[in-house]
Structure 1
Amino acid sequence: MARGGVDADVVIAGGGIAGLATALALRRAGVSRDVVVLERHAELRDTGAAITVFPNGWFALRALGVAHKLTSRYGAYDTSKVTNLETGATQVFRFAGNKASSEEVRVRPIHRKALLQALAEELPPGTIRFSSKLVSIDTEPVANGDSSEIAVVRLDDGTVIRAKVLIGCDGVHSVVARWLGMSEPVSSGRSCVRGLSVFPSGHRVKFEIRQFLSEGLRAGMMPICHTDIYWFLVNNTVPAGNLTLGKNAFTEKEAAGDPIKTLNEVTDNIASHMPAEYLEVVRHSDHDNLSWAPLLYWNPWSLLTGRAARGAVTVAGDAFHPMTPDMAQGGCSALEDAIVLARALSRAATPAEGVASYVTERRWRVAWIVAGAYLSGWVQQGGTNVSGVRGYLVKLFRDLIFYRFVFPKLADTMWFNCGGLTPRKEGKYHLE
């Protein structure tokens, strides 16, 4: 292949939480100042509207030096109330268990875009290249003739970039993961509607995390601030064509592309029996921050055995370990990835060794989180598409055992401290 194009130390595909956090971590750890983040959209994305950051996420944000910018803006929660609409029983469980928490390291729902902006404003201008879509990846040997390779990425505008390190932070259907040979994520059998409701004059909803359970459904809402409330509804995926309003039949995918249709389906059909307070919140949804999508995940065994690296090419965030949102660990684990990857690259003799060390360190933890999230969602919803005696036993386990004994164990994973980053010496970068 003829020479040409642009050279970079590190190329990161994807400008979401994983991508921006990784770019910042690489600079904080002194890996490289020559980092390019490719974001296919024209601006920072706020898809998902909100994210709940647990202690492990705050530990990572503290290592990145941005936690203080967010904890001062958002209130913390210590407990969650879960009401079983079939029995009327309400259980309260603590996120912290027996662990002591500082004011900073607590559970906080925050605006996703606020997190992205907090990370982006710490990066030098020009680090994020917007409207840049990765379309293909290749490799070529380095000029000095040793066994290492350079990643060659091509963008949809024809630009070619050669990178010493390529990190795929490009989401569930990652181009980089596919190039590495990682399998596609599979369906959990459930889907989720997510929304952000806005009350310009302020809402009257109590500042607490509420969840509601019924047959095949789990709904929840949590105020983010005095005007905004994040809400969600997890349902067993409805077979194609089985959603109906009036005489019209349509699919979840079709409804997802139409905010009015989505909201009507939630309030008038799927969740019509939910508490009036919840439905009132749903009706105030911002149409630009509404989504309905199947919940995908990667089999934990695949995480332990799959190929997540080739030379100095690897993945992070959803591209590495797609998971269901039932423990709210997608964003938090992506923040952990950023710290661990940057630290591994800063200490390794070669980029390939750093990447290999990172993958080895992360495999078992993310496999456990993916498994825990899937189990948590499956049990809380009463067993996905399970009925009869089996369904009754799952619900009995959920109501009598899961919240009291199992959830506290799962919550321990949310208190993991991924460690810090050694600040670079002025003027010294590891890859230069």
Structure 2
Amino acid sequence: MQRKGAAEEDIVIVGAGLAGLATALGLHRGINPTPYHAACRKGVRSLVLESSPSLRASGFAFATWKNAFRALDALGVGDKIRTQHVRLQALHIAPTSAGGTAQEVDLTQPQGKRGPLEVRCVRRDLLLQALEGELPRGTIRYSSRVVSIEENGSTKILQLADGSVLRAKVLVGCDGINSVVAKWLGLQKPSNSGRSAARGFAHYPDGHGFEPKFMQFVGQGFRSGMTPCSDTDIYWFFTWTPSENDKGVDESAAKMKQFVMAKLRGSNVPPEALAVIDRSEMSDILAAPLRFRSPLSLVASSIGKANVCVAGDALHPMTPDLGQGGCSALEDGVVLARSLGEAIRGKDAKGSAEDERIQAALSDYAGIRRWRSIQLIATAYTVGFFQQTDNAVVSFLRDKLLSGVLAGTLLKMANYDCGTL
């Protein structure tokens, strides 16, 4: 039954995060035309629903590897992001206990057949603003939270918190770890990894003077790291397994900062890294439990069903141990925009109807992203276990033998090409 007064939209994307904006921009850009048909390039309009009153930039920053820059270049914003962030020259992984072997990888040197890796620590707010700035005015509708999804034939009826109703021909869920769309599809709820993470940001108006390196410190039950975003900003993180003695540390930013500093002072972390955390503003420190979707649950789950699919954290929430959460969300956006755009803009060889082409496109997208998601989630969880564990035997093997393997794993996961639009 058609609801009176319901507005109709061809493509509705729920969530204006990295995956949502990347998908919307990819659709708007259109498929790369051939030299003979350059004038035929035509974008596809979408509507992005964001529950917040403005762009959300929680998380401060994230490691943006070569695979993410391939996606950003496809979307046309790669060079803008490059000018705002320093390129990292090395990945340094060191044990937090004395006597272990540190591993440093020169990121400027070729890594196998794919050449040198490009890695930058990108501020989330700047990236979201760059993506938003390339979209047509009115693409994002703020303060629009979806509370329920119903079906009317192939059309999806979205009930919003403000009482309004939308009818969508295609529904894309990019609404994060607590996704309404993922729940509607029947995806398993994310699991708690048993670990938590604190993240912060330190600003040096006159310059921080740190080398452009991604520094990580692992072992003794925690993993910590820091990396410059620019000449004036440094991002840092701290992950650990909370115990009964840690209750209350997340009640305020001040307590969280005090807790992190106390943990690091008893380790092999250098004083300059402690100084970065100490300099962070109280309001710039966040802590949250780390959750992930079981990779086994994605083997047979419905990533997409008919004209509905999910992307980003709505699809593959993972622990941050590979630094691939945001990167893979950008990959999702490019792959999804390409598949969906081709289905909407053209006819296939069989002359199928648009609805059939859309279903086939979303099925192709799900096939591509399912196994990539499973690989990333499982690898991130495994790397996190080895890096953070305080088990004596595993710690010995990691500190003496596995540092290079762990560093190599990060680089391998970043050597992925999502293609162009």
Pairwise same-fold verdict (TM > 0.5): yes
1:164 equivalent to 2:159? Answer no
Residue 32 of structure 1: CA displacement?
A: 5.7
Alignment of 1:365-404 (within 5 A): 365-382=372-389, 391-404=391-404
Aligned to 2:128: 116
CA distance in 2 between counterparts of 1:219 and 1:233 reads 4
CA distance in 2 between counterparts of 1:364 and 1:100 reads 21
Aligned to 2:29: 28
The alignment partner of 1:184 has SS state of coil
More deviation, 408-417/155-164? 408-417
Is contact 1:48–1:290 with CA below 8 Å preserved after alignment? no
Alignment of 1:33-432 (within 5 A): 33-88=44-99, 89-94=101-106, 97-101=111-115, 106-141=118-153, 149-239=154-244, 242-243=245-246, 250-251=247-248, 255=250, 257-267=251-261, 269-273=262-266, 274-348=269-343, 349=354, 350-382=357-389, 391-405=391-405, 407-421=407-421
Is contact 2:339–2:361 with CA below 8 Å preserved after alignment? yes
Is contact 2:334–2:418 with CA below 8 Å preserved after alignment? yes
CA distance in 2 between counterparts of 1:376 and 1:191 reads 15
% identical equivalent positions: 40
Residue 98 of structure 1: CA displacement?
A: 2.7
Is contact 2:103–2:404 with CA below 8 Å preserved after alignment? no
Is contact 1:13–1:170 with CA below 8 Å preserved after alignment? yes
The alignment partner of 1:271 has SS state of helix
Structural RMSD (CA):
1.9
The alignment partner of 2:281 has SS state of strand
* Aligned-partner residue type, residue 330 of structure 2: L
The alignment partner of 2:284 has SS state of strand
CA distance in 2 between counterparts of 1:323 and 1:203 reads 31
1:13 equivalent to 2:45? Answer no
* Aligned-partner residue type, residue 346 of structure 1: G
* Aligned-partner residue type, residue 97 of structure 1: Q
CA distance in 2 between counterparts of 1:94 and 1:184 reads 39
Residue 151 of structure 1: CA displacement?
A: 1.0
CA distance in 1 between counterparts of 2:111 and 2:396 reads 22
CA distance in 1 between counterparts of 2:324 and 2:405 reads 20
Residue 404 of structure 1: CA displacement?
A: 2.4
Residue 207 of structure 1: CA displacement?
A: 2.6
Is contact 2:303–2:370 with CA below 8 Å preserved after alignment? no
CA distance in 2 between counterparts of 1:393 and 1:270 reads 22
Is contact 2:200–2:277 with CA below 8 Å preserved after alignment? yes
More deviation, 31-40/2-11? 31-40
Aligned residues: 393
TM-score norm. by structure 2 comes to 0.88
The alignment partner of 2:171 has SS state of strand
Residue 363 of structure 1: CA displacement?
A: 0.8
Residue 55 of structure 1: CA displacement?
A: 0.5
Q: What are the ranges of 5 or more consecutive residues in structure 1 without an aligned counterpart?
A: 142-148, 244-249, 422-432
* Aligned-partner residue type, residue 28 of structure 2: R
Deviation string for 1:60-116 (max 9, x for gaps)?
1111111011112222124211222312442213456334546xx600111111110
More deviation, 314-323/349-358? 349-358
TM-score norm. by structure 1 comes to 0.86
CA distance in 1 between counterparts of 2:90 and 2:208 reads 21
Residue 166 of structure 1: CA displacement?
A: 0.7
Residue 176 of structure 1: CA displacement?
A: 0.7
CA distance in 2 between counterparts of 1:308 and 1:358 reads 9
Aligned to 1:146: none
